[in-house]
Chain A
Amino acid sequence: MKLRNQLKAALRSLGKNKMRTFLTMLGIIIGVASVIAMLAIGQGSKESIQKQIANLGTNLLTVFPSASMTGGVRMEAGSSVKLTMDDYKAVSSRCPAVLYSTPTVRTSGQLIAGGQNWRTTVWGVYPDYFNIRNLEIEKGAAFTLNDDRTATKVCVIGQTVNKYLFGEGQDPTGKIIRINKIPFQVIGLIATKGQNAWGQDQDDIVIAPFNTVQVRMMTVAYIQSIMLSATSEKMIPEATDEVTQVLKERHRLGPSEDPDFSIRSQADISSAATATSSILTALLASIASISLLVGGIGIMNIMLVSVTERTREIGIRMGVGARGRDVLLQFLIEALMISLIGGLLGVGLGIIASGVIASIMSWPVTITIQSIVLSFMFSTVIGIFFGWYPARKAASLNPIDALRYE
């Protein structure tokens, strides 16, 4: 039998029992829709986590000196003063896997501008810091290496600082603030970064040239940490190894000795968070696919009823020359049509449902083409899988028995 006639016949016989066909389809519609919605929620949360992590800085590595030990008492990490400017220079010049790098010092400072004051952390860094942390300058400009060399008293401030000192939306560039009584000229305003994944306000910050903070404010010789970015995400382990090697060599430590510094990378946090959200997505999708499976069983059930009901029709068709495979195909096409049409409607419903979830629950939701293709294919496979047994049963009927069936 020609495919076109098969399709026509299948459509007609599905049309004969509209209510039944629709209810059977509903199982697949709900199944596909929930798979798409669940995958969209999973993907959305994954992306929002990744975005937050990327917000912290791209391929960020931070080198801290280890905890200092005084008479057997360990102090907190970073309390040692063993990182020096020479360490930084060695790292920045001898590690090919490192793209940007900066030494950092930070201190807290009381800021005063006009009648307002505010207390926050003041960072002393190289201009590379803006690249490492993905900071954008909204107004004005960042300082340069030249400002650092001459220890110029300029700074760039975050939105929160601007809000408390000058008022929200004001342009602070050119204004003078006093940090711990030292006057600084504000030359730039950082674009809003928002909170990081741990709820810390990333806009509550003042950034000034490294030398200015180290020499003029803190009057120390050490550096507190080295921040750097690897050339790519894949190069993070490579960069870690290079930095470890260079620093161990400079600190005269053997390869088997414990380093007196530690390197923290964003990759650990990122992969842990991504793994968590992947597990969440898989969990949601597998629960949703169970409903798709139940829908498939519904198809099988109805097709079995249909085969029994239409035994005589099968007998007539075989009597006039339908082969087993013609009958098999006829019932398989009917099952497939239910699941394909159900799948299509399900995709539509899934997209609508995702939109509703996004707007009512205000969850991040991302529908991917893959999730649509995947769930549509899954529903097709279910149609074939659960349609096969009833179709097989119909095809294996004996024509004479089928014709006699009452």
Chain B
Amino acid sequence: MRRLSWFNTVSLTLGFAFLYIPMLILIVYSFNGGKLVTVWSGFSTKWYGELFRNEAFLDAAWVTLKVAVMSSTIATVLGTMAAYVMVRAGRFHGRTLFSGMIYAPLVMPEVITGLSLLLLFIAIGLDRGVLTIVLAHTTFSMCYVSVVVSSRLVTFDQSLEEAALDLGCTGFEAFRLVTLPIIAPAVISGWLLAFTLSLDDLVIASFTSGPSSTTLPIKIFSAVRLGVSPEINALSTIMIGLVAIGVIGASLTSKRAIAKRAKDEQEAIQ
């Protein structure tokens, strides 16, 4: 087994300290009794209580969740279709434009995406609200989904699908019964990615939301612009906790699935 040299040990320790200490500080100070976020004055959970009594935050959280569920679901369907087209459809008119439109939103500055969508919604007279945020989020996150799914589709053995077609499946049945189960992990990670991108987005949501559809990032941004607040620390701690549970849980499940598959294969051989 290899051992780490002192240089690598130091750089890894410092690197991970840099990544994690700011978040740890944020979490620790969410349990601070005082109003100041930089002076420790005893353990307390009162900011969590304040947070759950804050109607404005709860409303915004609900809007954010609705937008994230809707946009990530539509984005997963559209993104998977787009990935299928990119990998399987061969040549068709406007393919270059299509692949350009898939990749461009990934690197487009958010301020430009937000501005252009807002100008579109105004041009067609669509009132800004939950619907416009969902449309905006779907558009940029479907591109991420299609990148994730197409990287799985490329390595997929196409003869399996052909076998299903030979055995009498219709095209859609072959997709549902053969292709989808195999690419499912990629589709699920695409959905999760779209979901977190939507939860996290401030800039595009600011451009496309109306007065009655404030999302949580917009609310957080306007609160922290003025300074630090222990309530935001409490909210951040909850969000960091949920993400950590989600990511660690997902990786443990996939690890177990891989281990189980390896065991099954082993047994099948014997």
| A and B are interacting partners | no
